[in-house]
Amino acid sequence: MRVSAAVATLVLAVMSVSQIAVAHEIKGKVMVGGQPVSGAAVTLWQTASRDSPESLATASTDSSGGFSIRKGAHKAGGDVFYLTTKGGSSDTLALMSVLGTDHPSSVVVNELTTVASVFTSARFIDGTAISGNPLGLRIAAGNVPNLVDPVTGTWGKVLLDPINSTENTTLARLNTLGSMITAIGTVADDAWRADFFKASTPAGGTTPKDTLEAMAGIARAPWANPEVLYGLFDKAYPQPEDGSRRSAPFVPYLAYTPPDFALMLKFAGGGVYSPGKLQVDASGNIWSGQNWMAGSQSGVIHGIGGGTVKLAPDGTALSPPITGFTGMGVDGIGWGTGMALDKVWIGGLNGTIGVMDFDGRSIGKESDFPMAGKIGNLMGLGTAANGDVWIADGTKNSLLHFPGGRVKDGKVVEVKDLKSPFGIAIDAQNRVWVSNAASDTVVRFPADDPSKAESFRAGISPRGVAVDSKGNLWVGSNQSLDFPPPKIPDGTSIMEGFEIALKHMLTVLAKNPKMTTGVLNMIRPDGTQPAPTGFTGNNAINVAWGVSIDGNDDVWVGNFWGRGVVLMAGDDTKGHPAGTKTGDAIHVFQSGSIQMVTDVVIDPAGNAWVANNWEVIEGVVSSDPPRPISTKGGGSGIVVIYGVAAPVKTPVMGQMQQP
């Protein structure tokens, strides 16, 4: 008994030690404008709870800007560590560096680490406090090194990638914002500081007291005051009359007033090419089925089908290059990517269904499905809160239903008035909503009684659907009701339908280029519509495609023809400027990295992920495209816009929930 007791004591001691990190020293420097900041107070924080962080240790910088913090023992558990500094050259100078769930022993805290840390953690910052849902905090922290390296305080690895550094203005935006922080501690006078803090004040919020609060205000609504902010940059670092470089501390900087200060990055690899629907799993990973295979000369006439891709929450490709994940006979994927708690469901354009685990391994084989060999081109997948999986058969005008996600219990469900069913969403009453891509209607029916289907009119060719927390159904349509509809015969393949619809739209727009080309409809749980002809977002909508709801119930739209993303005010949502109404476009995000967008989804950190589906139209529809563009039919990359949305719980099964 004595030996057993001793062994048990030793085991418990080992277990305790394994969960406790030993004291660890962090050495660093605080720099502004490339110069050391002396006399600044430095604090190390840990996000120990959802409500508030814990201060672990403090220090003060010496004459060289150096500091050393010895962090005491703490329990491991995925918490995020970060540093804040205050004071030094100015009482209004406050900096930050989010270090992640582990932290380096050597760091630099400066203007660039502050901008990167604040923008990725925008939805969790209040003063010096970072708190919120733990998964969202980890996702935010994991994305900081993409923008800025916390060890060196210089640009991050993804930002330096040629697909970002030369294809979008994120590098210049980061440097311009960082230069304005520099100005606070160097060239700015009291009037400049007052104007800067006023311009960074959030709608309905209080005026920031320091640069950290100011950056948080800009990050949460980077579209709010770009003209004023850029004007302040211009005043702090005026353009010399001879056209030579400004005296700004970071180059390159913005040469023109930006439409917003949002920070965006594009990710490629892992088979990404022509992504259709996006999904976020329970761990924050991004999944998407690809229309075509990366590297192929594919379009709607000739094509090699793509696989399924997976990106980590920080955008790292986790699926095989070129092909992505494959299996179960799936060859090419349109809108058919669905997410359950423990599986990924895929609907193939070639009439096959795939189910895989989160490592991309197929679960079963093609013949496991009762309807195998009798399926048309599959499009949207909807998963309900109870685990039911619904799949749209776009060419056979029917649905496939898998109760509880059980493959062997799957059956074909015939529902009246389906016409090329496309998107599927399930509300809290377990009612299934289906958009009709070859019509102008959305069909709704109780999941347990499809015979009670009813139709609601939307726009021409409804596509993406989503349900907000109030139970409202939002649907994006390619065109408004006054747009002449294309004539697509029943049974037409999905790709042939895309070709017909696109050529029809080009013909109509050539005759009337000012015609409205997209709307969003909101259908309340009782079936009424506050705007029966739809919302255009002040004419910002231009061929609406995918629709997602964020944690504030605002609406995000993949603006396909408009080559961007529209943020639209949802049903009586809060936090917007006075006078904002339901259906108003709050902002349109565009970038050199954003192409023809099918979908946009929100993750638990409030990042918006964007699918580049098509790039060059001629490469998509030509039977013999010019060779230089023959690989540019499909869109390249998946883009993230950091911290611009209210976080959501993932996966979205049914209607939107906050994390």
Q: Strand 74-75 relative to strand 353-356: parallel, antiparallel, unpaired? A: unpaired
- Per-residue model confidence as pLDDT tens digits over 58-76: 999 999 999 999 876 555 5
Q: Given pLDDT bands bounded at 50, 70 and 90, which one contains residue 21? A: very low
State the sign of the Cα–Cα–Cα–Cα dihedral 218, 221, 224, 227: positive
* 160, pLDDT greater than 90: yes
More confident residue, 540 or 500: 540
CA 231 to CA 225: how far, in whole Å? Answer: 10
Place of tokens 């979008």: 168
Q: Are 430 and 418 in contact (CB under 8 A)?
A: no
Residues of CATH 2.120.10.30 domain(s) within the chain?
264-641
Q: Looking at residues 209-235, what average pLDDT do you find? A: 98
Q: Directed axis angle between helix 170-185 and helix 111-120, to 10°?
A: 120
Q: What per-residue confidence (pLDDT) applies to 428?
A: 97
Q: What per-residue confidence (pLDDT) applies to 553?
A: 98
* 38, pLDDT greater than 90: yes
Place of tokens 């408009």: 562
Q: What per-residue confidence (pLDDT) applies to 538?
A: 92
* 10, pLDDT greater than 60: no
CA 653 to CA 659: how far, in whole Å? Answer: 13
Q: Using CB atoms within 10 A of its CB, is residue 493 exposed (0-12), middle (13-18) or buried (19+)? A: middle
Report the percent of the chain where pLDDT is more than 70: 95
Q: Structure pTM?
A: 0.95
More confident residue, 13 or 187: 187
Q: Strand 66-71 relative to strand 54-60: parallel, antiparallel, unpaired? A: unpaired
Q: What per-residue confidence (pLDDT) applies to 75?
A: 53
Laid out side by side, the sheet with 378-383 consists of: 378-383, 389-393, 398-402, 411-413
Q: What per-residue confidence (pLDDT) applies to 203?
A: 87
Q: Given pLDDT bands bounded at 50, 70 and 90, which one contains residue 50? A: confident
Q: Are 585 and 537 in contact (CB under 8 A)?
A: yes
- The CATH number of 264-641 is 2.120.10.30
Measured between alpha carbons, how far apart are the two ends of the chain, in Å? 48
Q: What per-residue confidence (pLDDT) applies to 500?
A: 86
More confident residue, 581 or 506: 581
- Per-residue model confidence as pLDDT tens digits over 454-484: 999 999 999 999 999 999 999 999 999 998 8
Place of tokens 């995925």: 78
* 20, pLDDT greater than 80: no
Q: Are 140 and 605 in contact (CB under 8 A)?
A: yes
State the sign of the Cα–Cα–Cα–Cα dihedral 591, 595, 597, 600: negative
Q: What per-residue confidence (pLDDT) applies to 493?
A: 85
Angle at 404 between CA 340 and CA 652, to 5 degrees: 30
- Per-residue model confidence as pLDDT tens digits over 601-653: 999 999 999 999 999 999 999 999 999 999 999 999 999 999 999 999 999 99
Q: Residue 50 has which token pair?
A: 């959802």
Q: What per-residue confidence (pLDDT) applies to 575?
A: 92
Q: Given pLDDT bands bounded at 50, 70 and 90, which one contains residue 510? A: confident
Q: What per-residue confidence (pLDDT) applies to 421?
A: 97
CA 319 to CA 360: how far, in whole Å? Answer: 7
* 321, pLDDT greater than 70: yes
Using only C-alpha atoms, the chain has a radius of gyration, in whole angstroms, of: 26
* 516, pLDDT greater than 80: no
Q: Given pLDDT bands bounded at 50, 70 and 90, which one contains residue 499? A: confident
Place of tokens 């502050």: 114
- Determine the 3-state secondary structure of 432 from DSSP: strand
Q: Looking at residues 408-435, what average pLDDT do you find? A: 97
- Per-residue model confidence as pLDDT tens digits over 161-175: 999 999 999 999 999
Q: What per-residue confidence (pLDDT) applies to 492?
A: 83
**Single-letter residue type at 418:** L
